[in-house]
Structure 1
Amino acid sequence: MNNVDPKSLRRSRLFLLLIALVFAAPMIVAGLLNWSGWQPGVKGTGQPIQPQRNFVDEKLPVRLADGRLYAWRDSEPRLTLVALAGPNCALHCFEALTGLAKARLMLNRSQDRLRLLYLGAPPTDVSRRAAMQTYWSLGSDVDGKLAEYRPTTPDSVSALLVESNGTALAFYPAGFDGPGLLRDMKKVIK
C-alpha cells in the first residue's frame, strides 16, 4: 500500500535539505568569521588597557582640589572619564576638555552615569578654569601611577575610561577622536 514515488520522495528531501541550509548558512558563515578573528562593530576607538588595571585594587590615590580622596567606586554605578593634561594646558587642551564635557551632555538621560575627572594643572586662564569646574572634578595623581597615560606634548590631553568598579577600560592618547570616544561611551553607558 506504500505508493510513494521515489522521485518525489527525493525531491521532498532535497527541498527540506535546502530549507535547512538557508537557515544554517548565516550561522556557519558567522562562526567562520568569528573563528578567523573578525567581529563586526566590537572594536572601540580607544586602546585596550593591557594588562588590565583596577584602580580600586591598586589603591590608586587621587587627591581632589578640596583635599578629599577620589572614590573610584561611587555610591551608584557610574563610569569615570579621566582627562590627563600634558604640560601647559591652554587653548587646545581646554577645547578638548570642552568637547569631552559636551560629549557627556550628548549622552542625554545617561549623562548622570558618567563622572568627569581632570588630573593635572588646570588652565592658567581664570575664566577657563572657572568654566571647567562646572563639569569637571579637579584633582591630582598623588603617586604618579597614571604617568604612562599622561601626554608629554604641551597643551594636549589624553583620556582614560574607567568602569564603575575601578577597572580601566580604554586609553585615548592625545589627539584622540572625540566622536569615536562618544560612540565608545554610548556602548558602555546604558
Structure 2
Amino acid sequence: MTQPVPELRRRNRRMLLALALLFFGSFLVAGALRFSGWRPAQLKNRGELLQPYGDLRNVVPRLEQGGDYAWDPKARLWRIAVAPPERCGAPCVELAGQLETVWQLFGRDADRVHLLWIGAAPDSARNHPAARLLQDDPALRAQLPRLRDPAGVPVYVIDPNGFVILRYAPGFDPADLRTDVARLLKLR
C-alpha cells in the first residue's frame, strides 16, 4: 500500500529540517563555545601567558665567559630563563635540579632548549650541558615581568625570536613547565 503524496512530502520535509538542524546546530554550539572563551583543558597553557610579551630582541646578553648570546630565530631554540638574586642558596639549587630533570624529559628535543641563568647560578647549574650562563644585565632583567617576587624565583620561557612569553610563579610545578615547553617544541 502506498502512502498518500501529501503525507510523504511532510515526512521528507521533517527529515530535511532535522538534518539541517543537526548540521547547523553543531555550528551554533561550536560558535557559542568559542566566543564564550571556553577551551579544552589540554589546550590551555599552565604558565602565565604574558600580555604584553617581554621583548629581548634588542638586548644582546653577554655570556659569563665572554662573547654574545644571540637570539637566532633560525635555530628554533626555546629558552627557559632564570634570573636569581645574589646568594640565592638552597632554593636555587633545588630549582636547578628541577630544571635539569625537566630538560632531560624533553628527550630527543632537549637539544632545542637552553637553560639561561642570568647572573648568579648555583654550581649544579654550571655543569649542565644545556645551561648558558649570562652576565647580569639590568636591561635584560627589566624585560622579565615581576622578577622580584617575595615568594621566590620565577622562571620564564623565551621563544626563538627573543620574546618572553610565559612566566611561572615561584613554587610552580615543574611538570607544568615541561608540558608547556613540550607543546611549544612541537611547533616547527
1:14-73 residue CA offsets vs partner (Å, 9 max, x unmatched): 1122123223333211210111222223431222222223211xx213221111121122
Identity of aligned residues (%): 29
Partner of 2:17: 17
* Distance in 2 of aligned mates of 1:153 and 1:64: 27
Structure 1: stretches of 5+ with no match in the other structure: none
Asked whether the equivalents of residues 78 and 114 of structure 2 are also in contact (C-alpha less than 8 Å), the reply is: yes
1:104-155 residue CA offsets vs partner (Å, 9 max, x unmatched): 22122221221111112122xx5x3554x4331111242344244434548x
Count of aligned pairs: 181
Code of the residue aligned with 1:178 in structure 2: it is P
1:133-183 residue CA offsets vs partner (Å, 9 max, x unmatched): 4331111242344244434548x4321111111122111122222111111
Partner of 1:66: 65
Partner of 1:171: 167
Secondary structure (helix, strand or coil) at the match of 1:168 reads strand
User: Which ranges of 4 or more aligned residues in structure 1 deviate by more than 3 Å?
Assistant: 151-154
Per the alignment, do residues 24 and 112 of structure 1 end up closer, same or farther by CA in structure 2, a change over 3 Å counting?
Answer: farther
Asked whether the equivalents of residues 60 and 143 of structure 1 are also in contact (C-alpha less than 8 Å), the reply is: no
Secondary structure (helix, strand or coil) at the match of 1:186 reads helix
* Distance in 1 of aligned mates of 2:134 and 2:59: 13
Partner of 2:7: 7
* Distance in 1 of aligned mates of 2:85 and 2:100: 18
Code of the residue aligned with 1:13 in structure 2: it is R
1:81-100 counterparts in 2 under 5 A? 81-100=80-99
Matched, 1:137 2:135: no
Partner of 1:26: 26
Partner of 2:184: 188
Secondary structure (helix, strand or coil) at the match of 1:31 reads helix
Partner of 1:121: 120
* Distance in 1 of aligned mates of 2:96 and 2:125: 11
* Distance in 1 of aligned mates of 2:105 and 2:168: 19
Secondary structure (helix, strand or coil) at the match of 2:55 reads coil
* Distance in 1 of aligned mates of 2:118 and 2:146: 11
Secondary structure (helix, strand or coil) at the match of 2:33 reads helix
Code of the residue aligned with 2:114 in structure 1: it is R
Q: TM-score normalised to the size of structure 1?
A: 0.82
Secondary structure (helix, strand or coil) at the match of 1:44 reads coil
Code of the residue aligned with 2:155 in structure 1: it is A
Secondary structure (helix, strand or coil) at the match of 1:157 reads coil
* Distance in 2 of aligned mates of 1:184 and 1:103: 11
RMSD over aligned CA atoms reads: 2.4
